[in-house]
Structure formats: C-alpha cells, structure tokens
Amino acid sequence: MDHASVPSVGVGVGPVSFADLRAVARDGAAVRLADDAVAAIDRARGVVDALAASETPVYGVSTGFGALATRHIPTEMRAQLQRSLVRSHAAGSGPEVEREVVRALLLLRLSTLATGRTGIRRETATLLAALLEHGITPVVREHGSLGCSGDLAPLAHCALALMGEGEVRDAAGTLMPAAEALAAAGLRPVELAAKEGLALINGTDGMLGMLVLAIEDLRMLLRTADVAAAMSVEGQLGTDRVFAPELQAIRPHPGQALSAANLVTLLRDSGIVASHRGPDCNRVQDAYSLRCSPQVHGAARDTVEHAATVAERELASAADNPVVMFDESGDESAPGRVESNGNFHGAPVAYVLDFLAIVAADVASISERRTDRFLDKSRNHGLPPFLADDPGVDSGLMIAQYTQAAIVSELKRLAVPASVDSIPSSAMQEDHVSMGWSAARKLRRSVDGLTRVVAIEVLTAARALDLRAPLEPSPATAAVVALLRSSGVAGPGPDRHLSPEIEAAVELVASGAVLHAVEAVIGELR
C-alpha cells in the first residue's frame, strides 16, 4: 500500500466528527495525531509517572483492578500487571465483529487518548494510529462486553494486538498473528507501562462507533423510505393533498415537516396522481400506511437526531477511569492528579441505541403494510392480484411480502431494549451495567432488516407503476424504476427466480443508489 496516497484524518484534543469516523471506519482513511494531542498526552503521562513513583497507592497505576483494587502492586510487577490485565480481559467469544466496527472502535479510543486524560504514553498512542494507517484490524469477538466499564473485552482484543499478541487481519483481510502483521508493516509491539492497559480498554468506543454508523445509515434510509412511500402512494392512486405544508404546520414536529415536503417533491408532475385529482375522484381518505407516512417517518427522523445529539456529546467525552485531572485555573505549574469516576458507564449511549431499534422496527412495519396493499386485489385499485402476470398460474410478488413480514417480525423482537437488563459482575463491584454493546449489535441487525424491507417495497411499487401504464409516474419515481430495470430487476411478467432481484434491490437501497437516482432528477431530499 502506498501510504502517501491514503487520505488521513487528524486526531486532536477535540472530538472526532461523524464524517471523520465514516472516513476511517468505512473508507479506510488513515489517522495522524495532531500536535495538540501529542502535547496533551505527554503532559498527562508526566502525572502518571510521578504517581507511579509515589509510595501512595493509586487505582489503575499501582493497584489491581475492579474487585481486586485493594492490592498494592510493587513497582517491579507493574509491567506484568498491565500485560495480565489485557490478556485476561481479551475474553471475547463468537463471530468476528465487522472490520468497520473495529476501525471505528480504534479511532474513538485514540480520540480519547488524545484528550490527555488517560495517561497513555506517546509511543503507545502512535502505534494505535499506525494500526489504522496500515489497515491492521484486530480480531474482536461479538460476545464479551457488558457496556460497563466500557467495552472491556472488545478493547482488550485491540490492546492485545499492540502488545504483538492475538490475531489480526491485514489490509487484504488475511488472518494472521498480530506479531507477524506488525513486523510486515515495520512496526514494533509496545511493552505497556503503568496505567496503559487500563487506558486502552476502559471506554464506550465500540457501542459509540456502532451508534454513529447506524445514525449515518438511518439518515439515508429514512430519506429512501420517503421515496418508497411516494412510490406506494402513487402506485395505489393515493392523494398527495395530505402532505401539504399547511397541514404539517398545525402539528409542528420538524421531522414530519421534512418528510411531508419530500413526498410533495417526489410526487410533483406525476401523471398518475393527476389522473385522479379531479372532482370525479370518489376516494375520501387513504389508509393510514399511506396517509400517515410523514408522521411515522418524521418521528423516526426526530429520534435519530436526538441520538445524534447524544453521540456528539459522547464524541466530545473522555471515557476512562481513572482520569488525569489538572488545576481548573489553568495554572500549568499546578500538579496534576488522578481521579476515579463513572464516565465509562454506557447508559447514555445504550438508551438511544435501543430507541433506534424501535425506530427501525416501526418504519419497517409501515413499509410492509404499504407493500401488502399492492398485493390484495380488494385494496390495490385495479391492479392484478399479487401483481402477477397470470394470477393463479403465477404468484407474482406474494412471497416477497412474506419475506418482509418475517423480517419485520424479527425487528420487533430486536426492538426489545437491552439497556433495561443488568447482570452484576466483578464480585458485585460492578453491580449495574448498561448492556450498551448488546444494544449496538442488535441495532446493526435492525438497520440491515430495515434496508431489506424498504427495498422490497421499492421493488413492489416499481412493478405497480409499470402496470399503471400508459399513465406516467413522476420524474422522481420514474428514475427509481429505470434504475431497477437497468440493474437486473425486471418489470412485470411471468414468475421467475425472485431472490436475486430482491438482493439487487437491497444493494441499490443500501448503497444509496436509489436515493441518488432521485436526487439527480429533483435535487437533494431533506
């Protein structure tokens, strides 16, 4: 790899942005420690070194951990203390966690180290940055974190790689021992000094990284859900009058107004909508799943933005215990100190992770209901049963809705909160935990499920719009139909193997291609 050509993200004392996290986690950007971060790291390390030389026991520096904090560790055993901490805490089990999640976790731990609150040494932080630069990804297992004291086991697996132990995947994805990967990149493992093991593993970085990535995905998916809803309203001969801005203004939720505005824009210049807009139309009110789309999608948007506020606060935090503190007057000559705290507890993050799983389930639920209306002859306003070519001989899209229903049922189960559970650990020292990591893992599955449900609605609505010919859909929805047809998703016709077409639609939704096709025609959706 030509590292000079890899874009890099600067990590300083301030918070990492959503865009920077996405660039590092998903796009493979490298990172570099800014000068202010290096200065802050060195200053805090000086405090830890002074305390390590002191006769007074200091938690995390010269004592054991958790329920074993009462034991004072002699100087000659403190390097072993750090190694033992990391090795014992790297106790994960199960499937490997995705590369983007591990890279997000590494970046966020580095960001916390850069605040100058953890007491890490400069060379250890630099090696962590080098893992990201060289594409070395520690193997982290799915199970092991209680979300308090932070994501201990996942972070310990990453710290183990800095020691040259455990397994990693290189930039090509090849599984190998960490020592080999470091050597191939010209890097040397570190021998952890006082407090460094604790500084590397005590934070909410895993659950926070997954939260930020989910927010990024949901922001795109909710705009795509507006596209799907517009296609369904249009294909089912629904009215666009209910989306008028003056109707939204009398219930002034911001997300609702944005979603309704999108629907108005998406349906503009639709020949299908125009065909039944006149006085001869006998439709009084559309079904809730059509008429109330902005209310549901809008509430989801507002929830996502609340979660984003929590994530931004967490990105600006130093989640570690103990932390290095300095005189608040700004007197640089004042001695620093180390203070215990509870900022590693994942409750703030866990709650919104669970909240977003509810959002994913409900937006998928209304999407599935819109899809189902297309397939029922008694409710689809003149379309063939199941949109089949020869109903009875052909089943059309009957089973595509089954797939949606199965996913929605699973999403409802995943919407049960993880954060209301707590199992005491560490001999009752850690007697209340957040389960935020579990909330994050299930949210990732929820986002995937929502993507699939919306994709099936888009696929179904596109077939219905074709069946409305010679009436013309709006330019925006026509662009989606054209995209599907050029991507292996055929139009109406006799039954064929449906799964590949569903997967093609899922990829178009997940990649943002559906949204981009619309925005290329009508401009950016809100």
Question: How do residues 132-188 score in pLDDT, each as one tens digit?
Answer: 999 999 999 999 999 887 899 999 999 999 999 999 999 999 999 999 999 999 999
Q: Is residue 339 in some structural domain?
A: no
Same domain, 239 and 196: no
> For the ranges 238-252, 335-349, 431-445, which has the lowest average pLDDT?
335-349
Kindly state the average pLDDT of the residues 6-26. 92
- Among the candidates 146, 181, 203, a domain finishes at 203
* Residues 190 and 146 grouped into a single domain: yes
Q: Write the CA distances from 243 to 247, 277, 295, 487, integer angstroms.
A: 7, 14, 10, 31
Whether residues 162 and 307 fall in one domain: no
When mean pLDDT is compared across 72-81, 259-268, 431-440, 471-480, the lowest value belongs to 72-81
Q: The tokens of 261 are what?
A: 């505005």
Domain boundary among 177, 203, 229: 203
With vertex at residue 111, the alpha carbon angle to CA 47 and CA 28, rounded to the nearest 5 degrees, is: 145
CA–CA gap between residue 99 and residue 103 (Å, rounded): 6
The CATH number linked to 244 is: 1.20.200.10
Query: Does residue 135 lie in a domain region?
Result: yes
Q: 227 with 292, same domain? A: yes
| Active-site option among 59, 288, 351, 402 | 59
| 118 domain residue, yes or no | yes
Q: How confident is the model at residue 329 (pLDDT cuts 50, 70, 90)?
A: low
User: Mean pLDDT over residues 346-368, rounded?
Assistant: 97
112 close to 33: Cβ distance less than 8 angstroms: no
Residues 195 and 285 in one domain: no
Tokens representing 519? 């925005």
Statement: residue 328 has pLDDT above 80: no
| pLDDT over 80 (residue 414) | yes
Residue 429 has what pLDDT?
Answer: 81
Segment 399-414 mean pLDDT: 98
pLDDT > 70 in the chain, percent: 96
Neighbours of 12 (CB within 10 A): 18
CA 70 – CA 59 distance, rounded (Å): 9
Check pLDDT > 90 for residue 57. no
Residue 6 has pLDDT above 80, yes or no: no
Specify whether 224 is located in the same domain as 185: no
pLDDT in tens, 243-297: 999 999 999 999 999 999 999 999 999 999 999 886 666 666 899 999 999 999 9
Asked if the structure places residue 327 within a domain, the reply is: no
Q: Is 70 exceeded by the pLDDT of residue 353?
A: yes
Q: What is the model's pLDDT at position 280? A: 62
The CATH number given to whatever domain includes residue 134 is 1.10.275.10
Mean pLDDT for 491-500 is: 97
DSSP E strands, 154-266? 167-169, 175-177
Structural domain includes residue 344:
no
The whole-number pLDDT of residue 5 equals: 56
- Decide if 59 is catalytic: yes
Tell me what the mean pLDDT of segment 228-238 comes to.
Answer: 97
Burial annotation 239-260 (CB, 10 A radius, 16+ → b, else e):
bbebbeeeebeeeeeebbbbbb
**Pair (428, 403) in one structural domain:** yes
pLDDT of residue 460: 98
What is the pLDDT at residue 281?
A: 63
Residue 225 in tokens:
């859900």
pLDDT of 233 reads: 98
Residue 1: pLDDT above 50? Answer: no
Mean pLDDT estimate for the chain: 93
Indicate if 93 and 48 belong to the same structural domain: yes
Q: Where among 148, 182, 203 does a domain terminate?
A: 203
70, HSE (Cβ side, Cα atoms, 13 Å): 2
pLDDT of residue 103 exceeding 60, the answer is yes
Domain count, the chain: 2
Q: Are residues 304 and 369 in the same domain?
A: yes
For 288, the enclosing helix (H) or strand (E) is helix 288-291
Tell me if 277 is assigned to some domain.
Answer: yes
| 77-81, 232-236, 483-487, 493-497: least confident range | 77-81
Residue 58 inside a domain? The answer is yes
Q: What is the pLDDT of residues 87-97, one digit of tens each?
A: 999 999 999 99
| Domain, as residue range, for 126 | 3-203
pLDDT of residue 58: 80
CA atoms of 410 and 404, how far apart (whole Å): 10
Residues 402 and 294 in one domain: yes
The residue type at 94: G
* 291 and 150 share one domain: no
pLDDT: which is higher, 47 or 7: 47
Three-state secondary structure call for residue 65:
coil
Asked if the structure places residue 345 within a domain, the reply is no
Query: How many alpha carbons lie under 13 Å from residue 220 in its C-beta half-sphere?
Result: 18
- Residue 362 or 432, more confident: 362
259 & 165 share domain: no
